Amino acid sequence: MDIEQFRKAGYQAVDRICEYYYTLQNRSVIPKVEPGYLKNYIPPCAPEAGEDFQLIADDYQNFILPGLTHWQHPSFFAYFPTACTFEGMIGDLYSSSACNPGFNWSSSPACTELEVTMMDWAAQLLGLSPVFLNSSAIGGGVIQTSASDSALLVVVAARSLYQRNHAEAKLEDLVIYTSTQTHSLGVKAGLVLGLQVRAINVKLEDEFSLRGDTLKAALKEDAKLGKRPFILIATVGTTSSGAIDNLPEIQEVAREHPDLWVHIDAAWAGVALSCPENRGKLYLRETNDFADSFCTNFHKWGLVNFDFSALWVRDRSNLVDALEVTPVFLRSKQDDSGMAIDYRNWHLGLGRRFRSLKLWFVLRSFGAEGFRKHIRRAIELNNLFAGLISESKILSLVTPSSFALSVFRLVPAGVQDDLSLEALNELNRSLFGRLSARQDIMLTQTNLNGIFCIRLVVGAVRTDEQHVRNAYDVVAEEAEGVLQAWHQTTATPSD
């Protein structure tokens, strides 16, 4: 493809993306395809001769688009939506056009420099302490792929620091602390590194928040066993229910355990810190006071196209000390001078894409006020949904709604006390089965200490009041269907 052919194909791609967004809400959220569908349309090996790009572009429309789950659909309420923006797309396009694996300053100065500044913009937007800014020259921020990558990286840094301070420590005795509600990133870090993970129990009555006393008891117990907990992954806004670990209590405990690195995983909820009214509930002060690292994903609720996991550390030397390995062929005079950050020592791989461009485009185009408006709007819409659930006679919230997330289940009025947890779970699995069979809406399930629940998360840019009301109507209608079927099954012949 030459330059003029690119111009033509590029215009067409832009036009087709416009068309995609104009028609998005008429599409089904979930594609009507079965595993293996694509084999019918794509040959098993590459063509020998080159093909016309128009044919290729058409095949994307005909075979790929119909097989995508539309995360940007206004009725996508599953997982955590990725709030992707046109600004982000243009950022990705420019980034791809000047394609380079900017692993250090000299391999592409603008890539490092814009990332340095954008991570400071983002930190200030969220109200993070100046100690986390790159301009502090002590702490600093860096883009990772996902919150799992961010957590894995800080576990590595924390382990390396712990080993430097305790040369006698065996890897077999090290323990990663999480709660039972921590995202799978905790267990996965343990699997990757071959280290033990202890998931500390959290309770429904605490709204699944990790408490100081429970942490303290675990530390005491493990100390007796000769185990060495070296990092706690605390969560601000868990995936299952949006629970927030009790950072003030954890801070008290951590004070007496200076070897325990505390990482705050605020993958989803962290961007809500942009609005001052959320900062108390999200324990910003405590994060600023004592967290060793903090992560939030701008690619979830934060308007930046996947991927953009933002990670900050209080002391950058802990990353570099753990990971620095600079062979001769990667050296340059600027990097050696220490005048520039070498981001290759701030992540696990080597090459990295130019992702800061997306955040720059988004934050300038929306402005801080536009960013906050987007966050507040999602919270309002979720409050609307949570309110409808609360008013319902057959549905109820399992935990208080959390920012843009509601966790609910079917609980038929009047019969709650008569039904076992398992029977209620069965009804709710049935409800979720009905919802999953639909293609016009997408929600996900979860399990909270044995309670089968359904999650709804607002966050896609195009979601509006009508979509949230419709979501409630769909849920209520399917719930009625489940109840009718249940009444028929449980009805005695004499009824």
CA distance 419 to 401: 24
Using DSSP, state whether 161 is helix, strand or coil: helix
Stretch that binds a copy of itself, among 81-89, 310-318, 385-393, 413-421 (CB under 8 A): 81-89
Among 119, 154, 202, 357, binds a copy of itself (CB under 8 A): 357
The DSSP symbol for 455 reads E
What are the backbone angles phi and psi of residue 19, rounded to the nearest 5°?
-60, -40
Among 131, 323, 419, 483, binds a copy of itself (CB under 8 A): 323
Which is nearer to a copy of itself, 190 or 412 (by Cβ)?
A: 190
CA distance 402 to 386: 9
Q: Is 108 in the site for a copy of itself (CB under 8 A)?
A: yes
Which is nearer to a copy of itself, 14 or 419 (by Cβ)?
A: 14
CA distance 377 to 461: 10
Pick out residues in 135-164 that bind a copy of itself (CB under 8 A): 135, 145-149, 152, 156, 159-160, 163
Q: Is 425 in the site for a copy of itself (CB under 8 A)?
A: no
Contacts 24+ apart (CB under 8 A), 163-166: 164/321, 165/259, 166/228, 166/259
Among 25, 129, 179, 239, binds a copy of itself (CB under 8 A): 239
Q: Count how many Cα atoms sit within 13 Å of the Cα of residue 299 in the half-sphere of its side chain.
A: 18
Tokens of 444: 């996900």
Q: Is 350 in the site for a copy of itself (CB under 8 A)?
A: yes
Q: How far is the CB of 324 from a copy of itself (least distance, A)?
A: 8
Pick out residues in 10-69 that bind a copy of itself (CB under 8 A): 10-11, 13-15, 17-18, 20-22, 30-31, 33-39, 42, 44-51, 53, 55-57, 60, 63-69
Among 25, 77, 121, 161, binds a copy of itself (CB under 8 A): 121
User: Do residues 176 and 155 make contact, with C-beta atoms less than 8 angstroms apart?
Assistant: yes
What are the backbone angles phi and psi of residue 291, rounded to the nearest 5°?
-65, 140
Among 230, 312, 360, 385, binds a copy of itself (CB under 8 A): 360
Q: Is 421 in the site for a copy of itself (CB under 8 A)?
A: no
Q: Whose CA is closest to 250, among 279, 295, 289?
A: 289
Which is nearer to a copy of itself, 27 or 281 (by Cβ)?
A: 27
Using DSSP, state whether 198 is helix, strand or coil: strand
CA distance 149 to 24: 31
Binding mask 263-302 for a copy of itself (x = CB under 8 A): ------------------------------------x---
Q: What is the DSSP string of 360-406?
A: HHHHHHHHHHHHHHHHHHHHHHHHHHHHHHHH-SSEEESS--BTTEE
Q: Is 328 in the site for a copy of itself (CB under 8 A)?
A: yes
Number of residues that bind a copy of itself (CB under 8 A): 152
Which is nearer to a copy of itself, 216 or 438 (by Cβ)?
A: 438
Stretch that binds a copy of itself, among 89-97, 205-213, 280-288, 472-480 (CB under 8 A): 89-97
Among 79, 212, 216, 474, binds a copy of itself (CB under 8 A): 79
User: Do residues 445 and 453 make contact, with C-beta atoms less than 8 angstroms apart?
Assistant: yes
Q: How far is the CB of 158 from a copy of itself (least distance, A)?
A: 11
The DSSP symbol for 210 reads P
User: Do residues 74 and 377 make contact, with C-beta atoms less than 8 angstroms apart?
Assistant: no
Among 29, 74, 92, 411, binds a copy of itself (CB under 8 A): 92
Binding mask 453-482 for a copy of itself (x = CB under 8 A): --x---------------------------
Q: How far is the CB of 491 from a copy of itself (least distance, A)?
A: 29
Element (H, E) at 444: strand 444-448
CA distance 72 to 58: 21
User: Do residues 265 and 151 make contact, with C-beta atoms less than 8 angstroms apart?
Assistant: yes
Tokens of 410: 């079917």
Stretch that binds a copy of itself, among 191-199, 376-384, 391-399, 417-425 (CB under 8 A): 191-199
Which is nearer to a copy of itself, 12 or 383 (by Cβ)?
A: 12
Amino acid at 335: D
Q: Is 106 in the site for a copy of itself (CB under 8 A)?
A: yes
